[in-house]
Amino acid sequence: MTETTSESDPRHADQDVAGPSHVIGLDFGTESARAILIRPGSPRVLASAVHPYRRGVVQGRLAGQTLPLAFALQDADDYLLATEDLIRRIVVHLPPGAEVAGLGLAFTSSSPLPTTGEGDPLSRRFPDRPHAYVKLWKHRAAAQHAQPFQVLRDLEFYGGSSSPEWLPAKALELAAEDPELWAQASRFIEAGDWLVWQLSGQEVRSTTQAGYKAHFRYGQFHEKIAEALGDRLGPDIPQPPGTSAGRLSVDWQVRTGLPNRPQVAVSAIDAHAAALGLGLIQPGELTAILGTSACYLLSSDMEQAVPGISGVVDGGIIPGLFGYEAGQAGFGDVLSWFVRTYPALPGCSEGESFEHYNAQAALLRPGEHGLLALDWFNGCRTPLDRGDLSGLLLGYSTSTSPTDIYRALLESLCFGARRVLETFARSGVAVSRVVLTGGLSEKHALLVQLLCNVLGRPLEVALGEAASARGAAIHAAVAGNTCATFEEAASQLADTRTRAVTPDPSSLPVYERLYAAYLQLSDLMAGTTVMSDVQALASEVRSLQSVQLHAGVSR
């Protein structure tokens, strides 16, 4: 994970490389960051490095105290360590005399943190206080704090609601839970924007981050957001993708050993950068990122309200097009749950379980298991946008096997994906091409084939790796003026290689019927209060219990 790779030996560089000819793309993921060095004109990666964060994801405990289960924090200083290490490791692969024109950053989002007016993370001063840290995208403790934002106008462009995982709710959570700290927080800022500020010395936020995660539309924040956060949103309005926040500071030039001070692009969201890195920027090209959850990105000429999307943002992926983001709240984690819950063999690894069940499930014929599942283990994002829904399996008999259940879960993920695509289509947003990327698209051949069969259309699986870092490099090329437009940069730097997958025609009639049953069941369960009643009851019982446990401890 920490190796540095180089595809070319800089000592034998055979072209004109003098001047600001190269770009660096940095991708800050959940567990680690990655950097690539690339030279516009060719998609070839010249060097690549990975840096796992020192503290990783802070969960469970912080400074001797127990954190609530829903907490997922990160230490902003880890991003600085990662940046310094990564650039130092790849800069040695820069050909002699070459300079770096731009630096682009892709980042998880929404992962905001509170800082001083100078940009110092409050976690430096208050290392014992959970709310002083970066609240990672998957921090889920701000549920009740999204409430004030459910009345905003234009919510239909956010699938109908403001997510408790976004910056405004996380800000109100901080304000409510640690008001003293809130008073110290001159800024509340996405980690990606913060890192741009650290590197360039300029607090220039990105319209992508603000557009998707803080209701920034048509050049301004919604007044309720502005009211709630005030100056904490920074002095200036966010800037569109490809804008340079300024040159890398002298200090950072020294820290990284760069030969010059490249332009630092305003930050991108990692998933959106991935679409760019794969060159999927034409209207109708859908990028499906299949990981723990599934994220769907699509550009279009038209702005439409699409049920349950995460958002549609003008210039959300590249300027000049509307970028849509949709998703399934649970995807790979549903399968991980399965193999954790049903290990194939005593004490075997998750990988071994997957291998076993994939082999077994591949032997089943479509429909044979008699099961139907709803993939709502984490609620339903697109198209229903409801966290109060839950996973369901029906069709159990006393001869149902774990393999049957596994295959039904795989199929439910595919049905959910099909529903996302149909939701776009029904809302008038055309999908002309579907390209899969992300861990599951590479590792899970059965899932990919089932998805293709359930969708009943040809698919492609992207072959390029490190798509988000590559996308960040494309941002760098635009901000560094190496390329004039995103289209030009993508045509030079994107890795557009894919392999084709075609549906098995024999399975189509069965999956048509099962998908119809899936839709019927979805409608039934969305139209009744059974799921939310049972979930509400569980929450009541659990909170009662935790109150009593707490009382027990304090006695």
CB of 385 to its own copies, least distance (A): 17
Say how far apart CA 207 and CA 218 lie, in whole Å: 10
CB of 270 to its own copies, least distance (A): 22
Phi, psi of 174 (to 5 degrees): -60, -50
Phi-psi region of 541 (alpha: psi -120 to 50; beta: other; left: phi over 0): alpha
CB of 367 to its own copies, least distance (A): 4
Q: Which is nearer to its own copies, 346 or 552 (CB)?
A: 346
Q: Which is nearer to its own copies, 103 or 525 (CB)?
A: 525
Say how far apart CA 342 and CA 286 lie, in whole Å: 34
CB of 204 to its own copies, least distance (A): 38
Phi, psi of 47 (to 5 degrees): -160, 150
> Which residue has 């059965």 as its token pair?
446
Looking at residue 484, its amino acid is A
Task: Kindly state whether residue 282 participates in binding its own copies, applying the rule CB under 8 A.
Answer: no
Task: Kindly state whether residue 336 participates in binding its own copies, applying the rule CB under 8 A.
Answer: yes
Quote the DSSP letter at residue 258.
-
Question: 500 has which bridge partners?
Answer: 460
Task: Kindly state whether residue 504 participates in binding its own copies, applying the rule CB under 8 A.
Answer: no
Q: In this structure, are residues 36 and 25 in contact, taking their beta carbons and an 8 Å threshold? A: yes
Q: Which is nearer to its own copies, 134 or 410 (CB)?
A: 410
Q: Which is nearer to its own copies, 272 or 381 (CB)?
A: 381
Pick the piece of the chain touching its own copies (CB under 8 A) from 102-110, 140-148, 159-167, 374-382: 374-382
CB of 355 to its own copies, least distance (A): 18
Q: In this structure, are residues 490 and 38 in contact, taking their beta carbons and an 8 Å threshold? A: no
DSSP string, 186-239: SEEEEHHHHHHHHHHS----BHHHHHHHS-EETTEE-HHHHHHHGGGG-SS--B
> Which residue has 């075609």 as its token pair?
502
Q: Which is nearer to its own copies, 226 or 521 (CB)?
A: 521
Residue 65 makes CB contacts below 8 A (sequence gap 6+) with: 128, 130
CB of 548 to its own copies, least distance (A): 10
Task: Kindly state whether residue 119 participates in binding its own copies, applying the rule CB under 8 A.
Answer: no
What's the number of CA atoms in the CB half-sphere (13 Å) around residue 292? 6
CB of 134 to its own copies, least distance (A): 23
Classify 272 as helix, strand or coil.
Answer: helix
Q: In this structure, are residues 174 and 145 in contact, taking their beta carbons and an 8 Å threshold? A: no
Which of the residues 291 through 330 are near its own copies (CB under 8 A)?
Answer: 330
Task: Kindly state whether residue 521 participates in binding its own copies, applying the rule CB under 8 A.
Answer: yes
Q: Which is nearer to its own copies, 245 or 290 (CB)?
A: 290
Which of the residues 338 through 367 are near its own copies (CB under 8 A)?
Answer: 341-342, 345-347, 365-367
Pick the piece of the chain touching its own copies (CB under 8 A) from 186-194, 208-216, 272-280, 520-528: 520-528
Say how far apart CA 50 and CA 89 lie, in whole Å: 10
Q: Which is nearer to its own copies, 44 or 550 (CB)?
A: 550
For residue 523, give both structure tokens.
């409608």
Task: Kindly state whether residue 510 participates in binding its own copies, applying the rule CB under 8 A.
Answer: yes
CB of 306 to its own copies, least distance (A): 26
Return the residue of 60, 368, 439, 550 that touches its own copies, per CB under 8 A. Answer: 368
Classify 544 as helix, strand or coil.
Answer: helix
- If one counts every other C-beta atom within 10 angstroms of the C-beta of residue 358, the result is 19
Which of the residues 383 through 422 are near its own copies (CB under 8 A)?
Answer: 390-398, 400-402
CB of 519 to its own copies, least distance (A): 10
Q: Which is nearer to its own copies, 124 or 513 (CB)?
A: 513
CB of 518 to its own copies, least distance (A): 9
Q: CA 468, 469, 474, 475: dihedral to nearest 10 degrees?
A: 80
Q: Which is nearer to its own copies, 502 or 520 (CB)?
A: 520
Task: Kindly state whether residue 46 participates in binding its own copies, applying the rule CB under 8 A.
Answer: no
Q: Which is nearer to its own copies, 211 or 366 (CB)?
A: 366
Q: CA 160, 229, 240, 117: dihedral to nearest 10 degrees?
A: -160
Structural Rg of the chain based on CA atoms: 24
Task: Kindly state whether residue 372 participates in binding its own copies, applying the rule CB under 8 A.
Answer: yes
CA 407 to chain centre: 26
For residue 274, give both structure tokens.
């991935």
Task: Kindly state whether residue 148 participates in binding its own copies, applying the rule CB under 8 A.
Answer: no
The residue length of the chain stands at 555
Pick the piece of the chain touching its own copies (CB under 8 A) from 168-176, 460-468, 476-484, 511-519: 511-519
CB of 542 to its own copies, least distance (A): 6
- For its own copies, the binding residues (CB under 8 A) are 330, 333-334, 336-337, 341-342, 345-347, 365-372, 374, 377-378, 390-398, 400-402, 510, 513-514, 517, 520-521, 524-525, 528-531, 533-535, 537-538, 540-542, 545
